[in-house]
Amino acid sequence: MGGRGRLLETAVIALAIAARVAAVFILHNHEVPRSTYEHGAIAANLLAGRGFSIRFLGADGPTSQQAPVYPVVVAAAYAIGGVETPRSLLILELTQCLLGGLLAWGVIRLAGEIAPGRRGMAVAAGLLAAIHPTLVYAVTHVQVAGLGATLLVWTMVLGYRTGSSGRIRNAALAGVGLALLALTDPILSLAALGIAGAVVQGQGRALSTLRLLAVTLAVALAGIAPWVMRNAGVHGEFVPIKSTFGYAFWQGNCSLSEGTDKVRRASVEGILRRGGAGTSLGDWNRALWAARHEAGYIDDIALTKDDKTRLGRLSEPERSRVLFRRALDELAADPWRYPRLCLRRLGYFILFDETNPKSRSMIYRVPHVALTLLAAIGLAFAGRPTRKRLMPTIAVAAAVTLFHATTIVSARFHIPLEPLMAVWGAAVLGRWPAGAVPVEGTNRSASAAGPHHIERVGVEDRLLGAELGDRRRVEVALGSGLEQRQ
């Protein structure tokens, strides 16, 4: 980008931060009690000298119920402002506002890697990420989704750069991003599929591709190794990052579940109706929190005291396995229930989670549908070259969606995919590069080949000692760009 492009980029980043800071001070979520959930409990135990621990399923002790990165971030805020005080939560939320600026910047960079030279697409994608209400609202919560979204975007940026440059250094950085992503939200480590796709696209040569992917994987495994070794020492067995897959599967598939971890209660409706009569965003937000606390978790109705006592005698991984087997037994009693739950979860994930009071609000639904439609339109009209370049991001989104559709779903699980959807929505602008000049006598524009690709083909051509008769190969690789320049 030139001077004007950098100015636009800076303005989008500033807007992202400003929108989030405004949300923090309008909604006052840092003053909401019982809003920190498991991350806050683990952070408090870290500061109290009890280590990475929590009371979970009938027992209190060292845990792998959550990945380590975000609770450590929360603990840092607690260390400055006090454990679960409004001051510490305000510090955390304002830090997450800065993270929102980093997210918007990453989206701009990601769009630039996918469609080099499409300044309008990059700025539009960053603008969508800057102001999309769900992404803005997320920073006002003690919630890992915002950090996960930022890390996912930048990990994909590094994946595309690895593919376009072929540099070992970029492959190693992509491995660092993948490790951080896995230690923040293990499900998002499915970004490895996107990295692999971006490298394959950019390199095209098997040996180079394998070398780069091997470096990425080795660095990522080295990054998560200390936590895996800690888990083995704590639990006495191999636990990849979190111990709770079986528990989450049970929440989403037990006989009382509707496919999520929440309960649909009639009393929630009354709270939402009364809250809807409020005149401010603050009134609306307080009503949503009241409804959210009223809804509770599936654990509240599906686990008895005896259940928790029995589970508490087991190791943490074994508790999860017991609940997994229980869910399978209940599903076996009605073989068609699981497919129905998977379809319901898919609908909840793409559209609305009906068990979550917050996602049932029109303030959530309207922008969510708008972004979904815009993403679909962008993919449909982006043009084949841009759509092909987007395929690694589509693969990541599809894999994450499939996982949640078959396991458990929640509106917060969708948040990390929304920056990718912003890029898809802006991709329709990828058909018209800034400053494209049609060739006289034709309706074609300048080549859409990226600068890294052009440079790589040119270097290869020189190394091969290509003469004038070899130009045709270069012209094909550049999409006839060379012909238009002459």
> Is residue 408, in this structure, part of any structural domain at all?
yes
| Structural domain count, the chain | 2
Last residue of one domain, picked from the residues 389, 415, 431: 431
CA distances from 350 to 190, 226, 412 (A): 18, 36, 12
Whether 239 and 332 map to the same domain: the answer is yes
The domain in which residue 455 lies consists of: 436-486
Whether 257 and 322 map to the same domain: the answer is yes
Instruction: Round to whole Å and give the CA distance between 50 and 62.
Output: 8
Q: Which two tokens stand for residue 466?
A: 């290509």
Containing 485, the helix (H) or strand (E) segment is helix 481-485
pLDDT of 289: 81
The b-or-e profile of 204-233 (16+ CB within 10 A means b, else e) is eeeeebebbbebbbebbeebbeebeebbee
> Is residue 239, in this structure, part of any structural domain at all?
yes
Whether 237 and 309 map to the same domain: the answer is yes
> Is residue 119, in this structure, part of any structural domain at all?
yes
> Is residue 286, in this structure, part of any structural domain at all?
no
> Is residue 353, in this structure, part of any structural domain at all?
yes
Decide: residue 83, CB within 10 A, 0-12 exposed, 13-18 middle, 19+ buried.
middle
- Tokens 């609000």 belong to residue: 361
Whether 165 and 251 map to the same domain: the answer is yes
Last residue of one domain, picked from the residues 385, 409, 431: 431
pLDDT of 432: 53
Whether 477 and 331 map to the same domain: the answer is no
Main-chain dihedrals φ then ψ at residue 55, nearest 5 degrees: -90, 120
Whether 368 and 477 map to the same domain: the answer is no
Instruction: Round to whole Å and give the CA distance between 405 and 95.
Output: 32
Tens of pLDDT along the chain (486 residues) come to 567 778 999 999 999 999 999 999 999 999 988 889 999 999 999 999 999 999 999 899 999 999 999 999 999 999 999 999 999 999 999 999 999 999 999 999 999 999 998 889 999 999 999 999 999 999 999 999 999 999 999 999 999 999 999 999 999 999 999 999 999 999 999 999 999 999 999 988 889 999 999 999 999 999 999 999 999 999 999 999 999 999 999 999 999 999 999 888 777 777 777 665 456 777 778 877 877 777 778 998 999 999 999 999 999 999 999 999 999 999 999 999 999 999 999 999 999 888 888 888 788 899 999 999 999 999 999 989 999 999 999 999 999 999 999 999 999 999 999 999 999 999 987 665 544 433 333 333 333 344 444 444 343 333 333 333 443 343 434 444 433 433
Whether 303 and 414 map to the same domain: the answer is yes
Could you say which DSSP state residue 96 is in?
H
> Is residue 235, in this structure, part of any structural domain at all?
yes
> Is residue 274, in this structure, part of any structural domain at all?
no
Instruction: Round to whole Å and give the CA distance between 33 and 27.
Output: 13
pTM: 0.87
Last residue of one domain, picked from the residues 390, 405, 431: 431
Whether 243 and 329 map to the same domain: the answer is yes
CA distances from 454 to 119, 121, 169, 451, 476 (A): 18, 20, 21, 5, 11
> Is residue 280, in this structure, part of any structural domain at all?
no
Whether 148 and 8 map to the same domain: the answer is yes
Give the residue from 249, 186, 248 showing the smallest Cα distance to 220: 186
pLDDT of 349: 95
Instruction: Round to whole Å and give the CA distance between 140 and 142.
Output: 7
Three-state secondary structure readout of 206-275? HHHHHHHHHHHHHHHHHHHHHHHHHHHHHHCCCCCCCCCHHHHHHHHHCCCCCCCCECCCHHHHHHHHHH
pLDDT of 428: 85
Instruction: Round to whole Å and give the CA distance between 16 and 388.
Output: 29
